[in-house]
Amino acid sequence: MAGTASAAEPAIAWEPLPGPQTALITCPVFEVFYGGARGGGKTDGMLGEWLSHADLHGANAIGLMIRRERTQLIETIERSKSIYPLIGAQYHEQDKLWRFPNGARLRFAYLERDADADAYQGHSYTRIYIEEIGNFPSPNPIMKLMATLRSGAGVPVGFRATGNPGGPGHHWVKARYIDPAPKGWTMLASEFRNPWTGETVRRDRIYIPSRLQDNRYLGADYVANLQMSGSQELVRAWLEGDWSVVAGSFFPEFSDARHVVQPVALPDHWARFRACDWGSAKPFSVGWYAVSDGCLPQFARGCLVKYREWYGMQPGQPNVGLKLTAEEVGAGVAQRERGEVIEYGVIDPSTFREDGGPSIAERMYLGSGRAASWRPADNTRVAQKGAMGGWDQLRARLKGDEEGRPMIVFFATCTDTIRTLPALQHDPARAEDVDTSSEDHAPDETRYACMSRPYMRNAPKPKPEGPSAMTFDQFLKLTSDEKPRSRYRR
């Protein structure tokens, strides 16, 4: 129970949140999938489940906690470092291993390639934890790890996994844990019979849904951040743990009414730049953008106005390229922007590859008579390490500023952008990304343009200092009186 620590009651290092997280800690079922919402307390739940398992079984408790990628694993390790030392556990960096005072051991590892799971053959664990199981495109490595769950000391072994809708493993995770009982809290029993001994073993499975609302440590800020990094549908899937939502348009925020404007003369003094997604057999897309300084009332300050596009498509044949040479495209670019001051051009980084000859970017430059140069675009597609990816940037601009004014608009003459951008679909295997089998050249080019000028909505204005502002002394008092955040036996 939460409360202030007193002399009689030892301070607590961690305690579960009421609701699903508590259910996870106490759940006796062999295989538990704890999931759904982002920020619902999954990572903390896994780390806490281990505390309780280690507490019960001491030196016989042997755990393995897995993530797909090393950088993801580091996040989990960092969080463990703020909890486990409070109960006297020691971390061994080299082996990524926690040793607890009672002898329990928890190891961390990542499995970047499916074959990495083979290294665990023959090991014995009493707990396997898979964090964000949806990052695994196939269940095969997971099933191999599951086979390592056994205990010579008779410890009840268990498998615990977490996940959100929308990863590369979305479909198999959904089929295994969600589809049989979409609302969760339902025991899915299965029995296996050992053909030699005739003995039957039960391997039950359960889905414990977690929701953001169940986590009192996260609030409106976190929801606002999520809303910047996915479509409305996907954000809803994340917030509510709704596994049915991954279909539909990738940019539902795009609307003709808000984002398509009749061409007007733009002031010469506005900064201009261009972006390009190269293609030959498939269309290339070149876009020219001007940056509004706010002097025209219909364009918010900082809004990107895509005032020209050149889409290299066979007339009437969507997604079929013109097969122009790089020199020809370069010449066409220079011809179209004659008389304009173009500050820079960004193009997909792969065009800088040199395969024994000049790169495509260089050939375009030479073809333009050295008039139109390029630099590699930032090709980050989805958010990484807290930084917004290109799709987030484009989405944030489509959503617009605090007053709802769009931060990117398209001249009605940019017909192929207007045709293909709203048609983009979610990648079925990775919902936060675009299905790259769709005609995505103009959107890619627009994404490079957005990444070259990152947009952030203005933070709310700070309250003016005044009699209501806290004094430094009051602030100090506040932080030193702060209750322990959470409690677990120290």
Contact string 24-53 vs ligand ADP (x = CB under 6 A):
--------------xxxxxxx---------
The CA distance from 238 to 246, in Å, is 11
417 binds Mg ion (CB under 5 A): no
Kindly state the tokens that stand for 374: 């390029």
Q: Which stretch binds Mg ion (CB under 5 A): 35-43, 92-100, 240-248, 336-344?
A: 35-43
Q: Which stretch binds ligand ADP (CB under 6 A): 9-17, 120-128, 171-179, 317-325?
A: 9-17
485 binds ligand ADP (CB under 6 A): yes
The CA distance from 128 to 148, in Å, is 9
343 Cα distance to chain centroid: 32
Quick check: helix, strand or coil at residue 31?
Answer: strand
The CA distance from 460 to 463, in Å, is 9
285 binds Mg ion (CB under 5 A): no
417 Cα distance to chain centroid: 25
Closest CA to 273 of 259, 283, 287, 260: 287
- Residue 218 interaction partner, one of ligand ADP, Mg ion, none, beta carbon < 5-8 Å per kind: ligand ADP
Q: Which stretch binds ligand ADP (CB under 6 A): 14-22, 51-59, 114-122, 250-258?
A: 14-22
43 binds Mg ion (CB under 5 A): yes
Residue 329: strand pairing partners: none
- H or E element, residue 144: helix 140-146
The CA distance from 448 to 277, in Å, is 8
Report the residue from 80, 148, 215, 446 that binds ligand ADP according to the rule CB under 6 A: 215
CB 359 within 8 A of CB 352: yes
Residue 305: strand pairing partners: 290, 409
The CA distance from 413 to 398, in Å, is 18
Nearest approach in angstroms of CB 279 to ligand ADP is 38
Nearest approach in angstroms of CB 38 to ligand ADP is 5
Q: Which stretch binds Mg ion (CB under 5 A): 42-50, 110-118, 268-276, 356-364?
A: 42-50
Nearer to ligand ADP (CB atom), residue 1 or residue 7: 1
Nearer to Mg ion (CB atom), residue 42 or residue 176: 42
21 binds Mg ion (CB under 5 A): no
Binding site for Mg ion (CB under 5 A): 42-43
Binding site for ligand ADP (CB under 6 A): 14, 16-17, 21, 38-44, 215, 217-218, 485-486
